[in-house]
C-alpha cells in the first residue's frame, strides 16, 4: 500500500526542487518549518520523532533543505515529513504537512475486528511494520 | 417619500393615556441614539405598506421585536420601560430601490437570556415578520457583542482541533454525499462509503433526509458505514469519517443514535437544521463532551434565506450556528448548482472562519463583528461541483473548507474509487501549483490537463464534466457595489 497521509501523497513523489518551492511558500506565510520521521506510521501516531526543533529562525529554504537531506541520510528507510507551523492567534497549529521520504516497501495495516454484542465490531488498526521492535522495522 | 409623522412623546401623562399611539410616539424611534458596545444590533430590510412612513415602520419593527404591543399599557410604568425598548436609530434607503429601507435597531443585552439562540431569535424574528404594516421584512445582518458571545459554547470542536484530530493540514478536506439519497440498503450504502474513502476522500456523508426509513434503519446504516470507514483507514493510513446523521424525532432518539456512533468509533455525527435551534445547541454540548465533530446540513434554509425582500439572510443563520456550536455548516460553492453570489458567499465564509469580521457592505456585512475567540466553523461547499472546477473552488473558498463532490465522485464513469481519486489528485495538484506561486485562476485548466496525462481517473472526470456549469443569476445578491471615486 501507499501511505497517503499529508498534502501531496496522491501525486508522484516530490523532487527536491518541488519540496523547496513548498518550503518557500511556507516561509512566505511566516510559518516555521520542521522535520519529523517515524517507523510507526499509524494514522493516530501524532508524535513522530522530531528532527531537531522547529526552525523558527531559518528564513532560507536552502537551510531547511539541508535538514531534510540530513534527516534522509540518517533515516533513509523511514517516513519523513515536512511540517509548517503557524504561531498566529487563531491558528497556533500545523498549516502544512507533506511526506518527503518513504520506505521502498510499505506493508500497511492489519484491520483487526473484535466482534462484540449486537453485531457491534471494535476495530483496531495495527501496522505490520511495528509488529517488530523499533529499530528493526523497514 | 411619505411625510414623517409625530415624534416621541416625552410628557408622561400624554404618553400613557389609554389608546393607540404611533410606535415613534411610544419611543421606538431614537435617531440620536448611540449604540452601546454591549448592544445587540440588527439591520432589517423593510418594505412598508403603501403610505406607511419608513421611520414609523422601523420603529414598529423595533417595538414588535422587543417590548411593544399594539396599544398603550399602563403596566409599562412598572418597569424601566425606556431601558427595555429596542431603539430604531437609523434608516437608509436600499440602493436602487424605491420602496425598501435598511432599518438599524439596537437591543439592550438584558433583553436576552444568556447562551440561548431560541431566546435571541424569539425576539428578533419572533412576531415581527407577520406584522401587517409591512409588506415584507428581512433580517440582513446582526452584530452580536462579545459580552453576549461569551455566554455561548461555540463550535464543539472548531477548525483547528478538527484538523489536528484528523491529522489533515494544508489543503481543503474532501467529501461526498452517498447517492442515491434514498433507497439503498445498509449493506449497499456502506459499499459506497468504503469505495469513496478508499479512493481518496476524507469524509463521506449521509444526506439530510437519511434517518431511519423502511429501506435502511439507522443501526444498520451505522454498522455498515463504520465497516467501510475503518477498512478505508487501514488501506490508506489516513483518519477518515462518515457523517452519521443522528437527526430523529426526539432528543432521546438523537442522543441514542449519537451514543451508538460514539461506541462505533465515529469521529463525526451530523444533524439537520430542521431539528431546531435548541436541539442543535443540545447536540453541540453533547459533541463537546464526547470529542465528536458536529456536521450541520442546512436543510430547509432556502425557504427563508433566498428571497431578498423577506426572511433571514444566511449570513445571520451562519452566525447563529457558530454561536449554537456546530463544527461544519453548508455555506455555498459559488460555482455549483445551488444559490450563491460570490460576494454573499464570501461574507458567509468570513462569518464562519474569521476571528474578526470587519464591516464590508460589498460582502453583505453591515457591522464589525468580533468573535471573542469562539472557535471557527468549517464551511462545506456542496452541490453540483466537480474536479474541473478545482482552481475556481480553491481561489474562491481557500483551504479551510470541505469540498463535497457527491455526483462528482459517484457518477464517475470508471467507478466511485476512480471518482474519488480524480478529485483528490485535482485538489493536491492545484494546492501544490498555488503554493508554487502559479496563477491557478488563469492556468487552472492547463494544470489539471497536465495532471490528467498521468492520472487516468482525472482525465475521465474532466472529459465527462468539462462543460458543466450552472450559470444563473443569483437571487440573493448584495446591494452595495464598488463605485469608482474621484481621486
Backbone angles phi, psi at B91, to 5 degrees: -125, 150
| Whether pLDDT at B487 is above 50 | no
**In the prediction, which pLDDT does A40 show?**
94
Q: For an interface test with A, give the residue of B435, B451, B456, B458 to mutate (most A CBs within 10 A).
A: B435
| Whether pLDDT at B150 is above 90 | yes
Q: How far apart are CA B62 and CA B134, in angstroms?
A: 13
Closest residue on chain A to B355 (Cα) = A90
Closest residue on chain B to A125 (Cα) = B234
Residue B479 cell numbers, joined: 446591494
Over chain B, what is the mean pLDDT? 93
**In the prediction, which pLDDT does B482 show?**
61
Distance from CA of B152 to the nearest CA of A (A): 18
As separate numbers, helices (DSSP H) first and strands (DSSP E) second, chain B gives 19, 15
Please provide the DSSP assignment of B337-357 as one string: SS---HHHHHHHHHHHH-SEE
Over chain A, what is the mean pLDDT? 96
Lowest mean pLDDT segment, chosen from B1-5, B105-109, B144-148, B266-270 = B1-5
Residue B210 cell numbers, joined: 437519511
Mean pLDDT of B407-420: 94
Q: How far is CA A89 from CA B293, B320, B354, B355, in A?
A: 22, 23, 11, 9
Peptide bond into B180 cis (omega under 30): yes
Distance from CA of B310 to the nearest CA of A (A): 35
Lowest mean pLDDT segment, chosen from A30-39, B20-29, B231-240 = B20-29
Q: Which residue from A107, A127, A125 is spatially nearest to A2, judged by alpha carbons?
A: A107
Assess contact for B362 and B39: CB atoms under 8 A.
no
Interaxial angle between packed helices B342-353 and B314-324, expressed in degrees from 0 to 180 and rounded to the nearest 10: 10
Catalytic residue among B8, B135, B147, B179: B179
Mean pLDDT of B246-255: 98
Q: How far apart are CA B365 and CA B382, in angstroms?
A: 23
Closest residue on chain B to A27 (Cα) = B435
Q: Do B237 and A121 touch (CB under 8 A)?
A: no
Query: What is the three-class DSSP state of B234?
Result: helix
Residues in A touching B237 (Cβ below 8 Å): 1, 3-5, 41-43, 108-109
Supply the Cα-derived Rg of chain B in whole angstroms: 25
Residues in A touching B227 (Cβ below 8 Å): 121
Q: Answer whether B230 touches A (CB < 8 Å).
A: yes
| Whole-number percent of chain B with pLDDT over 90 | 83
**In the prediction, which pLDDT does B324 show?**
98
Residues of A with CB under 8 A from a CB of B: 1, 3-5, 7-12, 18, 21-22, 25, 41-44, 46, 83-84, 89-98, 108-111, 119-123, 125
Q: How far separated are the first and last CA of chain B, in Å rounded? A: 33
Mean pLDDT of B290-310: 94
Pairs of residues, one from chain A and one from chain B, whose beta carbons lie less than 8 Å apart: 105
| Whether pLDDT at B1 is above 50 | no
Please provide the DSSP assignment of B403-434 as one string: EE-SHHHHT-TT-HHHHHHHHHHHHHHHHHHH
**In the prediction, which pLDDT does B132 show?**
85
A65-100: pLDDT as tens digits:
999 999 999 999 999 999 999 999 999 999 999 999
Q: For an interface test with B, give the residue of A1, A2, A3, A7 to mutate (most B CBs within 10 A).
A: A7
B33-69: pLDDT as tens digits:
999 999 999 999 999 999 999 999 999 999 999 998 8
Q: Do B237 and A1 touch (CB under 8 A)?
A: yes
CA atoms within 13 A on the CB side of A86: 16
B297: annotated active-site residue: yes
Looking up cell 492520472 gives B455
Supply the ipTM of this predicted assembly: 0.97
Q: How far apart are CA A60 and CA A27, in angstroms?
A: 8
Q: Do B263 and A120 touch (CB under 8 A)?
A: yes
Mean pLDDT of B88-116: 97
| Whether pLDDT at B141 is above 80 | yes
Q: Do A125 and B425 touch (CB under 8 A)?
A: no
Residues in B touching A123 (Cβ below 8 Å): 226, 230, 265
User: Taking the alpha carbons of B233, B234, B235, B236 in that order, is the dihedral positive or negative?
Assistant: positive
Mean pLDDT of B9-32: 91
Mean pLDDT of B345-358: 96
| Whole-number percent of chain A with pLDDT over 90 | 92
Residues in B touching A3 (Cβ below 8 Å): 236-237
Amino acid at each position: 500500500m501507499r501511505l497517503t497521509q499529508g498534502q501531496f501523497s496522491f501525486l508522484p513523489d516530490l523532487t527536491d526542487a518541488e519540496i523547496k518551492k513548498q518550503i518557500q511558500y511556507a516561509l512566505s506565510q511566516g510559518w516555521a518549518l520542521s522535520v519529523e520521521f517515524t517507523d510507526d506510521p499509524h494514522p493516530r501516531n501524532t508524535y513522530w520523532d522530531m528532527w531537531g526543533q522547529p526552525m523558527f529562525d531559518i528564513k532560507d529554504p536552502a537551510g531547511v533543505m539541508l535538514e531534510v537531506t540530513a534527516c534522509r541520510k540518517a533515516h533513509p528507510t523511514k517516513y519523513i515529513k515536512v511540517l509548517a507551523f503557524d504561531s498566529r492567534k487563531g491558528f497556533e497549529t500545523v498549516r502544512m504537512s507533506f511526506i518527503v521520504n518513504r520506505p521502498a516497501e510499505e506493508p500497511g495495516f492489519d484491520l483487526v475486528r473484535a466482534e462484540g454484542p449486537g453485531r457491534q465490531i471494535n476495530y483496531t488498526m495495527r501496522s505490520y511494520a511495528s509488529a517488530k521492535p523499533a529499530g528493526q522495522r523497514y | 417619500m411619505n411625510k414623517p409623522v409625530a415624534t416621541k412623546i416625552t410628557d408622561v401623562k400624554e404618553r400613557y393615556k389609554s389608546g393607540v399611539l404611533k410606535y415613534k410616539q411610544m419611543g421606538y424611534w431614537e435617531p440620536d441614539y448611540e449604540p452601546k458596545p454591549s448592544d445587540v444590533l440588527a439591520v432589517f430590510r423593510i418594505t412598508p405598506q403603501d403610505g406607511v412612513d419608513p421611520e414609523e415602520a422601523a420603529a414598529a419593527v423595533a417595538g414588535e421585536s422587543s417590548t411593544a404591543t399594539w396599544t398603550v399599557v399602563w403596566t409599562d410604568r412598572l418597569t424601566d420601560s425606556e431601558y427595555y425598548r429596542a431603539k430604531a436609530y437609523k434608516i437608509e434607503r436600499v440602493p436602487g430601490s424605491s420602496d425598501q429601507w435598511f432599518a438599524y435597531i439596537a437591543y439592550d443585552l438584558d433583553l436576552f437570556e444568556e447562551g440561548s439562540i431560541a431566546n435571541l431569535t424569539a425576539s428578533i424574528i419572533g412576531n415581527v415578520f407577520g406584522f401587517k404594516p409591512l409588506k415584507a421584512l428581512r433580517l440582513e445582518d446582526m452584530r452580536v457583542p462579545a459580552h453576549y458571545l461569551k455566554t455561548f459554547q461555540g463550535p464543539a470542536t472548531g477548525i483547528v482541533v478538527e484538523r489536528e484530530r484528523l491529522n489533515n493540514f494544508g489543503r481543503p478536506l474532501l467529501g461526498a454525499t452517498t447517492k442515491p439519497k434514498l433507497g439503498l440498503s445498509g449493506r449497499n450504502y456502506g459499499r459506497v462509503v468504503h469505495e469513496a474513502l478508499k479512493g481518496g476522500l476524507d469524509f463521506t456523508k449521509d444526506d439530510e433526509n437519511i434517518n431511519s426509513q423502511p429501506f435502511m434503519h439507522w443501526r444498520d446504516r451505522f454498522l455498515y458505514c463504520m465497516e467501510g470507514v475503518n477498512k478505508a483507514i487501514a488501506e490508506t493510513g489516513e483518519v477518515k469519517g462518515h457523517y452519521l446523521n443522528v437527526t430523529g424525532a426526539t432528543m432521546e432518539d438523537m442522543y441514542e443514535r449519537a451514543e451508538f456512533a460514539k461506541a462505533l468509533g465515529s469521529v463525526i455525527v451530523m444533524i439537520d437544521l430542521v431539528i431546531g435551534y435548541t436541539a442543535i445547541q443540545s447536540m453541540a454540548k453533547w459533541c463537546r463532551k464526547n470529542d465528536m465533530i458536529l456536521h450541520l446540513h442546512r436543510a430547509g434554509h432556502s425557504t427563508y434565506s433566498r428571497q431578498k425582500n423577506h426572511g433571514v439572510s444566511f449570513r445571520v443563520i451562519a452566525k447563529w450556528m457558530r454561536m449554537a456550536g456546530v463544527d461544519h455548516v453548508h455555506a455555498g460553492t459559488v460555482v455549483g448548482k445551488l444559490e450563491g453570489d460570490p460576494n454573499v458567499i464570501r461574507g458567509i465564509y468570513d462569518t464562519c472562519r474569521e476571528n474578526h469580521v470587519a464591516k464590508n457592505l460589498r460582502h453583505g456585512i453591515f457591522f464589525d463583528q468580533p468573535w471573542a475567540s469562539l472557535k471557527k466553523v468549517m464551511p462545506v461547499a456542496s452541490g453540483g461541483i466537480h474536479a474541473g472546477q478545482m482552481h475556481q473552488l480553491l481561489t474562491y473558498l481557500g483551504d479551510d473548507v470541505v469540498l463535497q463532490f457527491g455526483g462528482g465522485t459517484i457518477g464517475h464513469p470508471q467507478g466511485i474509487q476512480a471518482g474519488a481519486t480524480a478529485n483528490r489528485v485535482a485538489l493536491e495538484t492545484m494546492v501544490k501549483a498555488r503554493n508554487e506561486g502559479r496563477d491557478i485562476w488563469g492556468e487552472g485548466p492547463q494544470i489539471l490537463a497536465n495532471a490528467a496525462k498521468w492520472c487516468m481517473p482525472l482525465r475521465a472526470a474532466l472529459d465527462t464534466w468539462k462543460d458543466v456549469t450552472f450559470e444563473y443569476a443569483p437571487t440573493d445578491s448584495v446591494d452595495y457595489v464598488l463605485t469608482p471615486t474621484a481621486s
